[in-house]
Structures are given as structure tokens and as C-alpha cells.
């Protein structure tokens, strides 16, 4: 199995539940990852599942600033929001 | 005792050195019995068996000895061959795993190139300079990215992906422009700055 082979629902759920990204309901789903109420990273994902592909997942991973193994941990649950916050604070320029 | 139970035989004959026969020659033993060679009682000693042959013609014994050596050598060769085949099987399985992993990695590694975009396809908006965007071709879709502002579009073809990226850029600019600047972190603020530099509102 490839490292980017995820079901769209799992990725969306990880972004929403773990990172608190609130997606809007536009033509494409757009939402922000916020730290202390400040918008930091914008995620944009397809609204319909058929538009998902490896490229979209790769883009989400890239924007999350996580490595592929870290992203797997995020989606598979071991990584909490707090752990992600710590990683992102280190990787985003302040 | 059956032919399969016999792994090796030690044939003892009075006045002659003992001869060790390989298991495959069990049938030969049965053959010896069949032609009434006066084979003595069979002594089972675990892995080995010893029999005393009281009267066996010299030519028969020589033939058996020759065959025994031949078969023993053949068996040893087969043993080596078997180990090699098993080793090759393991290597083949490992190679298959590697090929599967590499093909997965290749599938996730896009063909990347850069192209220029000179408009946003939206009336009232123009670009001060062409945007150098990245096209990433995956087996199942195409991505168009403008890394400066982390905007991405996608589609099943390059034109679709570029169109999607243009939409994303316009929407991002609209959203950032209308946002309270205090709510924007350094990254979106910088994106807005870049977008303001490149995108011009006409009229």
C-alpha cells in the first residue's frame, strides 16, 4: 500500500476532528487551521469524493507540514491536536 | 520396516568392512530380501539400521556399493539444489515486495514541470506579471500549484487543474482581502502581500 493511499473521509475527518479545520460548503471545501484564533494554514479539498486522488492527498500532507509517516499517525489517531500544534509551531515561521 | 522408514543402512558382512547405504536404497534391501540373500535380523537404532548380510555375492555387493555411492552423491546434490532453490524463492519474494513498494512510490511521485500563466480568466482581474506555476502529473489526476501562496488546483487534465488553480487564487485573494488582518497569521498575510503584488483589479 502506498503512503498516500487514504480514503477521503479519513483525511477530512482528521482535518476536522483533530485539527479543528472548519470547512465551508462552497464549490470546493476550504477551511483554515488556526492557532490561538489566528489563521495559519489553508486547506482546500474537493467536495466530491470522485475528485480525490493521490495528488490531493499529497497536497494536504504538504500543507500540513507533516512528513508522510507523521501524517499517517495523524490520520490513524495516535497524533493528537496538541502534538500537531507542537510540530507546526516548530515548522511554521513565527 | 518400510522403505520410507529406512534412512540409512549399515551393511555388515563377516570379514568385510561395513558399508553404509543411503535411504533411497531401501528398495534395494527389499530386493535383496526378495532374492533370498539370507538377510539377518534388522536392528533399528533410531536414525540408523544395521543388518548383517551373511551371504551376498561379491558382484552384487559391489553393485550395491556403487549404486549407494551414486545415489548418495545425487541426493547430496539434490539437497544443495533444494537449499539453493529455497534461497532463490526467498529472494524472489523479497524482490516482488521491493517492486511493489517501488511502483507504489513511483505512483506517488508526480511528473513535475513549470509553466507560465498570464491571466486569471476572470473579467476585472489581470496579472501584473505571469505566474510561474507548477504542474504535477499523478497517474490519476493533475495538480496545478502556485507555491508562493500555497494555492492548489486539481483536475483530470492540465487545463482543468489550471482553471481550478485560478479559481483558488481568486477565492483566496477575496477571502484574505476581506479578512480582519489581525486574524491572519504570517503565512496568509504574506500570501495576501504576494497576491496584491501580482493581481490587479481593473476599473
pLDDT the model gives residue B83: 87
**Least confident interval from A57-61, B119-123, B166-170:** B119-123
Which of A3, A26, A92 is facing B108, going by the closest CB pair?
A3
Which chain A residues are Cβ-neighbours of B167 within 8 angstroms? 27-28
Q: Tell me the ipTM for this assembly.
A: 0.82
Which chain B residues are Cβ-neighbours of A40 within 8 angstroms? 185, 187-188
Is there a contact between A56 and B141 (Cβ–Cβ < 8 Å)? yes
Which chain B residues are Cβ-neighbours of A46 within 8 angstroms? 154
Percent of chain B with pLDDT over 90: 44
A92 touching B (Cβ < 8 Å): yes
Residue in chain A nearest B108 by alpha carbon: A54
The strand ranges marked E within B131-201 are 131-137, 142-146, 151-155, 199-201
pLDDT the model gives residue B189: 94
Which chain B residues are Cβ-neighbours of A63 within 8 angstroms? 150
Q: How far apart are CA A40 and CA B93, in angstroms?
A: 46
Residue in chain A nearest B145 by alpha carbon: A59
In chain B, where the domains are located: 8-104, 111-201
Per-residue pLDDT for B46 more than 70? no
Phi, psi of B83 (to 5 degrees): -60, -40
Mutate one of B108, B174, B189 to test the A interface: name it (highest A CB count within 10 A).
B108
Assign B115 to helix, strand or coil.
strand
Cross-chain Cβ contact A44/B167 below 8 Å: no
Write out pLDDT tens, residues B54-101: 555 666 667 777 777 777 788 888 888 888 898 999 999 999 999 998
- Helix or strand (DSSP H, E) at B43: strand B43-45
pLDDT the model gives residue A5: 80
Q: How far apart are CA A46 and CA A12, in angstroms?
A: 10
pLDDT the model gives residue B71: 79
Write out pLDDT tens, residues A72-85: 888 887 778 888 88
- What value does the mean pLDDT take over residues A42-68? 90
Amino acid at each position: 500500500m502506498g503512503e498516500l493511499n487514504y480514503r477521503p473521509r479519513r483525511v477530512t475527518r482528521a482535518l476536522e476532528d483533530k485539527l479543528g479545520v472548519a470547512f465551508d460548503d462552497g464549490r470546493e471545501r476550504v477551511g483554515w487551521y488556526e492557532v490561538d484564533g489566528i489563521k495559519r494554514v489553508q486547506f482546500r479539498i474537493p467536495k466530491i469524493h470522485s475528485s480525490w486522488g493521490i495528488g490531493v492527498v499529497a497536497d494536504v500532507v504538504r500543507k500540513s507540514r507533516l512528513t508522510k509517516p507523521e501524517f499517517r499517525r495523524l490520520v490513524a489517531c495516535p497524533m493528537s491536536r496538541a502534538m500537531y500544534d507542537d510540530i507546526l509551531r516548530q515548522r511554521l515561521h513565527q | 520396516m518400510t522403505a520410507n522408514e529406512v534412512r540409512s543402512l549399515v551393511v555388515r558382512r563377516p570379514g568385510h568392512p561395513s558399508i553404509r547405504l543411503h535411504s533411497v536404497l531401501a528398495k534395494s534391501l527389499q530386493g535383496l530380501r526378495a532374492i533370498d540373500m539370507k538377510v539377518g535380523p534388522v536392528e533399528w537404532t533410531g536414525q540408523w539400521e544395521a543388518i548383517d548380510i551373511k551371504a551376498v555375492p561379491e558382484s552384487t555387493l559391489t553393485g550395491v556399493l556403487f549404486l549407494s555411492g551414486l545415489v548418495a552423491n545425487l541426493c547430496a546434490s539434490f539437497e544443495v539444489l533444494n537449499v539453493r532453490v529455497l534461497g532463490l524463492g526467498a529472494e524472489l519474494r523479497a524482490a516482488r515486495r521491493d517492486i511493489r513498494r517501488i511502483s507504489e512510490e513511483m505512483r506517488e511521485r508526480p511528473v513535475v514541470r513549470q509553466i507560465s500563466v498570464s491571466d486569471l480568466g476572470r473579467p476585472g482581474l489581470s496579472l501584473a506579471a505571469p505566474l510561474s506555476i507548477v504542474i504535477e502529473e499523478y497517474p490519476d489526476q493533475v495538480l496545478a500549484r502556485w507555491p508562493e501562496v500555497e494555492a492548489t488546483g486539481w483536475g483530470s487534465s492540465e487545463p482543468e487543474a489550471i482553471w481550478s488553480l485560478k479559481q483558488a487564487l481568486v477565492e483566496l485573494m477575496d477571502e484574505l482581502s476581506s479578512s480582519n488582518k489581525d486574524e491572519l497569521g504570517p503565512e496568509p498575510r504574506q500570501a495576501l502581500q504576494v497576491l496584491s503584488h501580482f493581481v490587479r483589479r481593473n476599473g
